[in-house]
Amino acid sequence: MSAPTEQLATTPPAAPAPPPHPARFPLMLLGSVLALALIAYGALTMVILMSRHSASSSAEYGSGITSIRVESWGMCGGGITVVGEQARETVSASWKDSWSLARPTREVRREGPALVVDVDCSWTTAWTPSVDLTLRVPRETALSLQNDSGSVLVSSVVGDLTVRSDSGRVEAVGIRGNVDVQTDSGSITASEVQGDLTLRSDSGSIRAYGGRSSRVALSSDSGSQRLVLTRPPTEVTASSDSGSVSLLLPASSAYAVTTQTDSGSERVRVQRDPDAASRVEVRTDSGSILVGNG
């Protein structure tokens, strides 16, 4: 009698490995190059930042200057401060430069009664250079200031003020003249201004207190607005895409008020008269509206 035969399971041969994707090697090479570039960039940035320099200087410019224009180019950091002084006849400038690769350059020139200051920062990346400028000027001086990144502070000036800022806080205090401020990103504060107000911020709050402005125009894409006037204005317009608007006006006058909001409450607590000499128009896409007495 023969022994039973054992059936052995047979394993099929393994399938051959698929060939590598044709893009595998170029992608690995590209990733390695990018990683090395990031490491080198980080190391270079650390070295440059550790070797940062700073220097201060000052200058005096002659009498007869009635207007000043400051222009900043190349994404300079730093702030601009301007102070009007009653007894001053000349313009005093104090500079503080900070840099790593190349020191910021500047050109100061006279154009008749105007003083023109051009600031240039050529090397701008992670090691952005900065220029802090402080000007002490005669009280009666008109100003036009441009700053790329940094605060702008102006006080006690008799003359029109224009400010253009890409990023940074703007503050105007005690200005007797028209004030026109536009900033892409940064808050705006105006206090005790005797002149027309035009304030616009793409992203940032707007505050105006204690002013005696005849005409006021406020505008913001994203940010709240608050206006407090001590004298009835001729015209106030305020618009906000996203943010509340609060206007506080003297109770001694009636106002022709128009409000519109797509999303938000509306409260009008002033004496209303459609034929009043003082006209107020407020519009928000998303945000509450308050027009009251302050």
Structural domain boundaries in the chain: 58-150, 169-294
Mean pLDDT calculated for residue range 204-218: 97
CA–CA distance, 271 with 279 (Å, rounded to integer): 12
pLDDT at 12: 63
Q: Which residue has better confidence, 97 or 46?
A: 97
Q: How confident is the model over 185-199, as pLDDT tens digits?
A: 999 999 999 999 999
pLDDT at 128: 73
Give the pairing of strands 197-203 and 80-85: unpaired
CA–CA distance, 171 with 188 (Å, rounded to integer): 6
Mean pLDDT calculated for residue range 70-98: 92
Provide φ and ψ at 23, rounded to 5°. Answer: -90, 0
pLDDT at 35: 74
Q: What is the mean pLDDT of the chain?
A: 89
Q: Do 184 and 167 touch, CB atoms closer than 8 A?
A: yes
Q: Do 262 and 243 touch, CB atoms closer than 8 A?
A: no
Instruction: Name the nearest CA neighbour of 96 among 108, 84, 74, 79.
Output: 79
Instruction: Name the nearest CA neighbour of 129 among 234, 184, 51.
Output: 51
pLDDT at 188: 98
pLDDT at 39: 74
Whether the predicted model's global pTM rises above the 0.75 cut = yes
Residue 237 has pLDDT above 80, yes or no: yes
Residues 242, 248, 254, 255, Cα dihedral to 10°: -20
pLDDT at 14: 60
pLDDT at 82: 98
Q: Which residue has better confidence, 47 or 22?
A: 22
Residue 265 has pLDDT above 60, yes or no: yes
Residue 9 has pLDDT above 60, yes or no: no
Provide φ and ψ at 52, rounded to 5°. Answer: -70, 145
Q: How confident is the model over 105-145, as pLDDT tens digits?
A: 899 999 999 999 999 887 655 567 889 999 999 999 999 99
CB atoms within 10 A of CB 285: 15
Identity at 10, one-letter amino acid code: T
CA–CA distance, 134 with 97 (Å, rounded to integer): 12
pLDDT at 129: 85
pLDDT at 213: 97
pLDDT at 148: 85
CA–CA distance, 122 with 101 (Å, rounded to integer): 9
Half-sphere exposure of 224 (CA within 13 A, CB side): 11
Q: How confident is the model over 18-35, as pLDDT tens digits?
A: 666 666 667 667 777 777
